[in-house]
Amino acid sequence: MALPNQKLIVLFVIVVARPELSHPQSGLYLVAFRHTHLCLARPSRKSKPSANGESGASLQLGIKSRMMPERQNVHPNAASPWRPLRIPLFRSLLIADFASDVGAFMQAVGAAWLMTSLSSSTLQIALIQTASALPFFLLALPAGSIGDIVDRRKLILGTEFWMLAIACLLVVATFAHFITPWVLLLLTFALSIGDALESPAWRAIFPELVPKQDLSPAIALNGIEFNLARAVGPALAGLIIAFAGVGSVFLLNVLGFLGVIVVIARWKRPVPKATLPAETFTGATSAAFRYVRYSPGIQKLLLRSACVIFFASAFWALLPAVARIVSHSSLGYGMLLGLFGTGAVLGALLLQRLRKTYSVEAVVAVATAVFACVLAAAALLDRLWILSLFSFCGGAAWTIFMSVFNTLIQRLAPDWVRARVLAVYLFVFQGSMALGSVLWGALAERAGLEKALLASAVGIAACLLLRFRFSLPEPTTTLDVWNHWPKPSMFVEPQPDDGPVLVTVEYKIDPVEATEFLEAIHKYQRIRRRDGATRWGVYYDSESPGIYVETFLVDSWAEHERQHDRFTVADRTVEEQVFRFAREPLRVRHFIYARTSRRK
């Protein structure tokens, strides 16, 4: 009997025998009818999870544990910061990307300068930055889904050709004197659309370009390249505009796309053969949100990075105002940015040495504290040469914690969802930067520049306290696919879109260990939901002690098969903690929703 207020599920299983085993003349068929009462099983709130130990009777759906791959305890050894340059493809792409980034920074300076010539409206001048940033807010998440569905190489080539075409239109409109403020805004917005669509896929290809042990220095080298371009591009643009006009800057930006197009076109990217239909756009986007929702490590990283970037955005938003006060010249602003970029290069080099000795938390804490000092110095000091030194240190600190965040998000997401997770990260980053810039600018206007910078310095320093509640993850296991589940034998092969699919796993355990078992299997819930389950539950048999049934619902048969390809070696420990309680081989059953008429 079920207890009062106890949720109860009753399974009615009807088995109809084949007609050839019955009496054909009687018209009767053999029918077996059985019903089982299962009550929802919850872990005891007062109980404590069992201590981790060796699994003595680890069962894997009836497969012995010797079939499991050896446990991998991989620690990310800090590699030489220059070692990725030995890889010809990475080296060529880094050089081409540097030329493209220099062109992009030159184009940004040229567009802003041209707008000041076309219009005296401060609103239209400010809209240049809005036109550049808005596509990232609108398209970051869809771009991540597209980057995981289609071939990333083809996507990058397509967006590069799109941006090349828009840049050519900008050159023609400028030299032909057809450019107007609204045409400039429209072309800037269109150019940024290509960048927003490309960005998640571009970030996701790094693990394909270099070995795993070289991923961290490769990302650091990419940061060095970007900061060098940020230092060189604006200065070069100013010189060219002064001597050759803004149209020449736009023309050089066009040439910058060609190098990336050539390198990507020559890349022979191995495309894995898909055994399942491609995910739909809606399904891919839902899977991204689901994966982030049930990945505590990614959630902590997004929270930590959002807080740091929000307060650090005051530096970028208010630095032009600081430079105007301390130097009264654009040369002072250029010096601060140039030394910031130089410090960023040093920070990338220091990062590899620091990671050999210190933990991720220690490295991020030091970099965050240094950046807080930089913000305080910008508020309190009025000497250009002193601020330049702090800007140099700020560049090093910025690159260190940004490289750590970028490396962690790459290593926390498996290949099947990497572009989508990076898109979520990019959305959080851009959102924190945009929101922070507006708020710090508004605060500076109301309360003064000094108070706004000091408030941001205090805020970023307070982010150090987050480490005690939301510590950064340090991945120590591989996210390689571990598809160890046997293919079920079925009398009819389901169609990919058949569903929903109800999967049940029956466990026979020692009733004495029920509390520990429930603690373990409720942790397993996160993996089931993360990889595709829309509903999950575990029930105990009210008639047979020690019998528990885990159930989870998946939208379709294809989505359930994708679950098999989403299980990773890193999930093995959690699964072992559940299966070690099984006293008999597990019984797995698949129920597909029965429709009155099958779809054609």
- Give the pLDDT confidence score for residue 365 in this predicted structure: 92
Q: For residue 489, give every residue at least 6 positions away whose Cβ sits within 8 Å of its Cβ, in sequence order, or none.
A: none
- At 157, is the pLDDT very low, low, confident or very high (cuts 50, 70, 90)? very high
Structural domains of the chain in order of their starting residue, each with its CATH number: 1-36 (no CATH), 41-72+480-592 (3.30.70.100), 84-268 (1.20.1250.20), 295-476 (1.20.1250.20)
- At 275, is the pLDDT very low, low, confident or very high (cuts 50, 70, 90)? low
Closest by CA position to 499, among listed 254, 235, 225, 283: 283
- Give the pLDDT confidence score for residue 490 in this predicted structure: 72
Q: What is the dihedral of CA 349, 350, 352, 356, to 10 degrees?
A: 160
- Give the pLDDT confidence score for residue 4 in this predicted structure: 44
- CA distance between the termini of the chain: 44
- Answer yes or no: is pLDDT of 545 > 60: yes
- Give the pLDDT confidence score for residue 314 in this predicted structure: 85
Compute φ and ψ for 500, nearest 5 degrees: -65, 165
User: Mind giving me the DSSP string for 250-263?
Assistant: HHHHHHHHHHHHHH
Find out whether 499 and 570 touch, Cβ atoms under 8 Å.
no
- Give the pLDDT confidence score for residue 53 in this predicted structure: 37
Q: What is the pLDDT of residues 305-350, one digit of tens each?
A: 999 999 998 887 777 778 778 876 556 666 777 788 778 878 877 8
77's tokens: 């050894």
- At 360, is the pLDDT very low, low, confident or very high (cuts 50, 70, 90)? confident
The order of strands in the sheet holding 501-508 is: 8-16, 31-40, 535-541, 547-554, 501-508, 587-592
pLDDT (average), residues 116-136: 68
Of the listed ranges 221-230, 318-327, 474-483, the one predicted with least confidence: 474-483
Pairing state between β 535-541 and 31-40: antiparallel
| Cα 405 from Cα 409, distance rounded (Å) | 6
- Give the pLDDT confidence score for residue 373 in this predicted structure: 94
Angle between helices 281-293 and 514-530 (to 10 degrees): 140
Q: 544 or 478: which carries more pLDDT confidence?
A: 544
Convert 94-161 into a string of H (helix), E (strand) and C (coil): HHHHHHHHHHHHHHHHHHHHHHHHHCCCHHHHHHHHHHHHHHHHHHHHHHHHHHHHCCHHHHHHHHHH
- Give the pLDDT confidence score for residue 476 in this predicted structure: 65
Q: What is the pLDDT of residues 25-72, one digit of tens each?
A: 333 333 333 455 566 676 654 444 333 333 333 323 333 332 333 333
Residue 469 neighbours by CB distance under 10 Å:
8
Q: 60 or 411: which carries more pLDDT confidence?
A: 411
Q: Which run of H or of E encompasses 355? A: helix 330-357
Q: 275 or 289: which carries more pLDDT confidence?
A: 289
| Cα 61 from Cα 546, distance rounded (Å) | 17
- Give the pLDDT confidence score for residue 1 in this predicted structure: 43
Q: What is the pLDDT of residues 487-523, one digit of tens each?
A: 777 777 788 788 799 999 999 999 999 999 999 999 8
Instruction: Report the percent of the chain where pLDDT is more than 70.
Output: 79
User: Which segments within 339-396 are labelled E, that is strand?
Assistant: none
- Answer yes or no: is pLDDT of 90 > 70: yes
- Give the pLDDT confidence score for residue 167 in this predicted structure: 93
- Give the pLDDT confidence score for residue 127 in this predicted structure: 66
